[in-house]
Structure 1
């Protein structure tokens, strides 16, 4: 179960709160983009970053001179958000139009992963997450590349999850309005693969569908 703290307690739309840790994991694993908040000399800023989970930690990476990573390395407290948009809810009144979504908010501080072997393993985990089996075929990062890469981790010890999936909530007085009401779903479709222009004709197209379930395109 997710921890309940003053910062993670959901006070608006409490019926949308989800406390299962697996729900948090599922949102992070599908989103793969975190919006990360920092305060720097110019004030608050939120930056989107590729992010992936290994067990109970989220990892981000970038160049050593990244402004975001420099601030996070200093131990500044931060907040990460992950959002998946699932559709519009079309009601009989303008007021009750809303959306279906899954969202997660994570609080904490990042720490640096310095060991190059750990970096290699964790970065390769990300590649395997998006393209299973690929690390067995590509050239892996060398020492120079790993040394030039900053890798940060944050524990998932303080987080909240909110899921909106409850359909139309019209007032009883509006039920007789002769207009269509319901949900307009959004679905993410992954693939098909698009080869680069200089790809040799003898190379077979890989199959990464196992990573995406029903989101993988159907021909």
Structure 2
């Protein structure tokens, strides 16, 4: 099956930093949701820290005993048309239900996640896929999302390391950037794309501007493509 089209939707300050409480602009959440509705995605994907906003906040004590679960992926009986995908390599997230808003939750694990955690996800009817042995391979992940769940358009929505991982893997097709009219300036805070410089010859990723639009209160929507437009 064809891999999904992948877009990245983010709200940042003029200096490229991701939203913080110091911004004092509650309406930027409305802008995000308004633009998200215009993108024909059927799944969104975030990193573990961002996904925690849709989970139980208290740590989940591991249950004692021996747990046996079938190897490989688990597709729960969900009946959903849209999905919320969370990267959780070691299996740490705790879920109240198998939904994030109206989307069915898919947890992306590695083989390092324990049998106990996988059994826990099954008990909550939360789907999961194995995205690698020790580390998550995003190419494996997007192929499985298409094959197992029929996902055709995946929206990457943070955080900075998650966005950076997709950028580094060359998997982003489009960028929807909501630029807020403020400068953050806080050192060490997440930016739009945080990519580890693990080799000296890594090059920057060029984007092609497709459109721009002025939004409410001086915000700006910039839409980019990483591939030349077809004529």
TM-score surpassing 0.5? no
Q: Which has the higher strand share?
A: 1
Higher alpha-carbon Rg? 1
